[in-house]
Structure 1
Amino acid sequence: MTGPTDPAPPALDTRPSGGSAPGHDSTDAPAPAAAPAPAVLGPRTRRLRRIRRTLAVVAVLATGVIATAVLSSGTRHGYLDPRAADPFGSRAVAELLKERGVTTRVVTTAREAADAAGPRTTLLVTDPDRLGPGQRDVIRSAIDLSGGRTVLLAPSSHSLPDLSPGVHTEGHADTDHPDPGCTLPAAASAGRADTGGGHRYTTALPGAVRCYPSDGHPTLLVLPTGPAGGDTVLLGSETILLNESLADEGNASLALQLLGSRPDLVWYLPSLADSESTETGDEDKSLLELVPSGWSWALLQLLVAAVLAALWRARRLGPLVTEQLPVAIRASEATEGRARLYRKADARDRAATVLRAASRERLAALVGVPHSQAHDPVALVPAVSARLAGEPRDVTALLFGTIPSDDAALVALADHLDALEREVRTS
């Protein structure tokens, strides 16, 4: 292949057979020497480039680590977080409770939640199914001994045996906004609420209050628990606490009454660190469970580093450069070789452009047009036409026309250009 600075050949023969274009000198003269190769970079320059590339990779990795840490730090934008103002946060209900004198405290471990529970406290567990056996034991002890209220959001059969024995799930509710259907004051004053779409429950425990039934099974269940007079609320769906749905139906009223019956609200958001600190060592764990949670981010960073290193060291296609040819190549061989390359690449457009450009430069020299105007049809075409005899021909289409549609048209173009040059030269 040739670089962008290669001179246009005298004429390109695009026909399959060898030989030079008719009417031209086919003397096997050596082609013009190629431009000298760029100077080889010194060791200092190569070392500086290597250091700059290494620093760039380190900077990209550091940026990724910082971005990951920012995205994964804290819980202010988490689901059901009372500090998050996004549609799936719960800041709206926390602010309303604050206006009514209820203090909200966010905890992230089961031990903190159990220590904060008491007779004047409502303990809200946002994701009971995420708790491990050790965490569920701690929360169950707090339910039995605190004497306050515990609200469990959408517990399923995974966590119910430990947190609320005697209660079972009955599939998902089909009704989105069921009627209260019970005498619980909070439900009666709230009216229809968005408790559907979550779990339905069934129980034979005495004293249970069943509200918001769907197909005969409640989506809100209130159970008396512990000797200290506390109760446990099982809410089949967490929708009433979300910012985006708090204003629908009686969601706000029901949420405020369920969570605001005591002056203190402990909002428990389970975390991965909590599961590690609470789990007992007697349980059999898989290999993945034994790997610390932080290693997942480390593995991700190593993967990113490996990809960047592969991109850095991989073979890249740069710009074309000129090289010092080891031998002199005959003009006819260079012309034929380039023609074969054009034919192999099906580059009729490039071949036609080279043929026309070379013909325009030679014709400009023959008719006395300056080299700077050799590719200007306004200057070149009249001068060439004046040297022609016989029937008028469309010189503009021949020298500045469209791309040939097939190989036969390209060969015909080469023949016509050659004939035009011969006629101008002999005129």
Structure 2
Amino acid sequence: MSDVVARPVTAPSGSYATSPTARSTWRASRMIVLLGAIVVLIAVIGVLLSGERGPSRPLDPADTSLAGSKALAELLRARGVTVDRVDSVEAAADKAATGNRLLLITDMTYFDEYSLARIQGDRLIVGDQIGLSVLAPGLHSRPGIVRTRSREPECRLPAATLAGSAYIGQTAFYPPPGATGCYPAPDGGYTLVSYPNAGGVTTVVGDGAFMTNQRLAEDGNAALALNLIGTGRPVTWLVQPDQPPVGDLPGERGKSMYELMPDNIRWTVYMAIIAVAILAFWRGRRLGPVVTEKLPVIVRAAETVEGRGRLYRARRARQRAADSLRAGAIDRLTPRLGLGSGAGPHEVVAALAARTGQDPHQVGAALYGPPPTDDTGLVALAGYVDFIERQVSEL
């Protein structure tokens, strides 16, 4: 009897062919191939990392990322509208002093709302709710309760009715008397409100997604943005400073460990995982093919069968013993009956009954019936199964 073990491949004694085969060529060159694949993978990842841009600046007229508004700014300039990007209240006030302008506010994180409120004229506040009570007095809001999706204006504001549906939502506004609300929210509020205020008209929009480079070409987003901003007057577009002041915000905390990590750290982790996987594959295949090796002691098959039978008897495992007998008999009988390996019980029983002349019910009970309840029944089952096998073999 033999067993199966794994051992390194050794060259057989005697003469053998010296010409290389496909298998031997692969064994000799697989290390080079794996190293080449690793080099190519590292090069591709390096190109991807070198092409990464810095963080996007949402609704920034100079940002070309999906969250930026570079496309909208260029459309406004193409229509003859002057767009001035400023990052301080002082710069916005200086621009307002030059004439009638529209103040577009998209980020209030680093600005004082009271200083901005002194700038008279039309205001368009998009997405940012900080300081809204000062910049848009009388207006109440509930941020984050309206799902951003395509909505119909359902109002009489020309800028909205001419644009039609727009991708808008996020915040529900409850306007003061005399205000016009558009793009209704489910709870009765509006996602766009416009009303007279501060010597001009203040318009507040709950979400600026319709102004981004990603969404501008959808629905009536571009038309709505151009109608609200492109009134022909110069636009003062207030954005967050390129280098935000440190410590100016109340409750500012120190950066966490993850914020201090380099932006490319995740790619380093991915590269390490890939390298470990390739190394594991390479080292895991270092053994040769599986070969057979003679055992130092010959064990008779009958002794193995008897030993297993004694174990079944000691544990009273009649069901498991019966299942083993039946499974072995079915595996041996199926090809002799001309049936495929996936033949069902009905096919096997019908073929055996036709081949041996035995009662189909008796054959089915023997091969697929309930397990025997005692040792006598198990012996009788083994005898009957052996009888069926011998009949099929003799016919």
TM-score (norm 2): 0.50
CA contact (8 A) 1:85 1:243 kept: no
Name the residue aligned to 1:26: none
Deviation at 1:153, TM superposition (A): 0.8
Name the residue aligned to 1:16: none
1:393 and 2:361 matched: no
Q: For 2:368, what is the secondary structure of its paired residue?
A: coil
* Aligned-residue CA RMSD (Å): 6.7
Deviation at 1:331, TM superposition (A): 1.4
CA distance in 1 between partners of 2:366 and 2:74 (Å): 73
1:34 and 2:3 matched: yes
Q: Deviations over 1:191-238 (max 9, x none)?
A: 9997987343678xxxx984439989992245437xxxxx67341334
Name the residue aligned to 2:384: 416
Q: Deviations over 1:290-316 (max 9, x none)?
A: 8647646625853885698589769x9
CA contact (8 A) 1:171 1:199 kept: yes
1:110 and 2:87 matched: yes
Q: For 1:167, what is the secondary structure of its paired residue?
A: coil
Deviation at 1:259, TM superposition (A): 0.7
1:10-409 residue pairs with structure 2 within 5 A?
32-34=1-3, 37-39=6-8, 97=76, 100-102=79-81, 110=87, 114=91, 118=95, 119=98, 122-126=102-106, 128=107, 131=109, 133=110, 136-137=111-112, 150-156=123-129, 158-160=130-132, 164=134, 167=137, 169-172=139-142, 177=153, 179=155, 198-200=171-173, 210-212=179-181, 219-224=193-198, 233-238=202-207, 241=211, 243=216, 247=220, 252=223, 255-262=225-232, 264-265=234-235, 277-281=243-247, 285-288=252-255, 292=259, 295=262, 298=265, 302=269, 305=272, 309=276, 324=293, 325=295, 327-335=297-305, 352=326, 354-355=328-329, 375=336, 377=338, 393-394=356-357, 404-408=368-372
CA distance in 1 between partners of 2:53 and 2:7 (Å): 49
Q: Which amino acid aligns with 2:298?
A: A
CA distance in 2 between partners of 1:246 and 1:304 (Å): 41
Aligned length: 331
CA distance in 2 between partners of 1:196 and 1:392 (Å): 76
CA contact (8 A) 2:92 2:238 kept: no
Q: For 2:141, what is the secondary structure of its paired residue?
A: strand
Q: Which amino acid aligns with 1:171?
A: S
Q: Which amino acid aligns with 1:155?
A: D
Deviation at 1:288, TM superposition (A): 3.6
CA contact (8 A) 1:79 1:89 kept: yes
CA contact (8 A) 2:169 2:207 kept: no
CA contact (8 A) 1:176 1:197 kept: no
Cα distance change, pair 212–421 in 1 and its aligned pair in 2 (3 A): closer
Structure with the larger strand share: 2
Q: Deviations over 1:338-357 (max 9, x none)?
A: 7779x899698886454455
Name the residue aligned to 2:20: none
CA distance in 1 between partners of 2:189 and 2:333 (Å): 93
Deviation at 1:34, TM superposition (A): 3.1
CA contact (8 A) 1:172 1:198 kept: yes
TM-score (norm 1): 0.47
CA distance in 2 between partners of 1:344 and 1:297 (Å): 63
Which sections of structure 1, spanning at least 5 residues, go unmatched? 1-31, 226-230, 361-373, 379-390
CA distance in 2 between partners of 1:59 and 1:344 (Å): 60
CA contact (8 A) 1:170 1:202 kept: yes
Cα distance change, pair 202–356 in 1 and its aligned pair in 2 (3 A): closer
User: Which has the higher relative contact order, 1 or 2, with Cα contacts under 8 A spaced 6 or more apart?
Assistant: 1
Q: Deviations over 1:374-418 (max 9, x none)?
A: 84749xxxxxxxxxxxx98248x999x996355449976643353
Deviation at 1:258, TM superposition (A): 3.0
